[in-house]
Amino acid sequence: MGVQLHSEPFDPGVELARFEATLPVGSVGATASFTGTMRNHNEGDQVCAMTLEHYPGMTEKQLEEVVQDARQQWDIIDALIVHRVGDILPGQPIVLTAVCSAHRAAAFDACRFLMEALKSRATFWKKETLLNGETRWVEKNTPGH
Amino acid sequence: MAIKVKFFASLREQLPAADSQVDADGVATIEDVWQRATANALIPAHVLCSVNLEHRELHAPVSDGDEVAFFPPVTGG
């Protein structure tokens, strides 16, 4: 299923259902998914909006490579990464990762891998707008483990 | 004979006068591209770079027609 960048809000449930509908009926024994959502706070400050910048061409290529790496490490049937770009509001989904496999271990582990790998490798940058109107670039991601 | 140059996120805002294209003559590495594009601005400690959409180190070679990009650590997901 691969990689999608959305410049408008997306519904993780709809995207997950679309993903699952593409898979061979009866082959899937496990589906794991993760949704990352924008918080209204960060580093002790209230955040009221965020802009996600990316490097068109490179970002998609990196996400495709992350999916290929997962395919090489686990016996999975298919994987999906959906990521927002542009202007985002608190409560809106930022990212969806999903993996289908015959058994749950591969689905869980590969889904976690997709998320951690994209956070450390893919060229996205977050700029927050605080409640007082100030803007600031997020300098680092929070640890995932 | 030119190399395309891109800056992203905070770097783009810090270097508003940086060139989007530099002459390839006499430019051998990514670091040379930075110096020419930014008029010898100091290179930030944690800057990342790429050539033709692949991550590379500052000392990596570049060629005429390449696309070189500079950006801060990534914060997606």
Q: Is B38 exposed, middle or buried (0-12, 13-18, 19+ CB in 10 A)?
A: buried
Domain boundaries, chain A: 3-137
A55-89 exposure pattern, b = at least 16 Cβ within 10 A, e = fewer? beebbbebbeebbeebeeebebbbbbbbbbbeebe
Q: Which residues of B touch A94 (CB under 8 A)?
A: 76-77
Question: Domain range spanning residue B20?
Answer: 2-71
Angle A6-A8-A11 from CA coordinates, rounded to 5°: 80
Residue A145 banded pLDDT, cuts 50, 70, 90: confident
Residue of B nearest to A115 (CA): B77
Q: Which pLDDT value is given to residue A4?
A: 98
Residues 27-66 of B with CB under 8 A from A: 50, 53
Q: Which pLDDT value is given to residue A132?
A: 92
State the ipTM, two decimals.
0.94
Domain A3-137 fold is: Aldehyde Oxidoreductase; domain 3 (3.90.1170)
Within a domain: B14: yes
% residues pLDDT > 70 (chain A): 99
Within a domain: B24: yes
Cα B24 to chain centroid distance, Å, stands at 13
Q: Is A32 on the interface with B (CB under 8 A)?
A: no
Closest to A36 (Cβ–Cβ): which among B10, B73, B77?
Answer: B77
Average of per-residue pLDDT values in chain A: 96
Q: Which of A124, A12, A112, A106 is nearest to A63 (CA)?
A: A124
pLDDT digits (tens, 9 = 90+) for B11-39: 999 998 888 999 999 999 999 999 999 99
Domain count along chain B: 1
Closest to A53 (Cβ–Cβ): which among B9, B50, B73?
Answer: B9
Q: Which of B55, B57, B61, B12 is nearest to B37 (CA)?
A: B12
Within a domain: B43: yes
CATH number at residue B21: 3.10.20.30
Q: Which of A86, A110, A91 is nearest to A100 (CA)?
A: A110
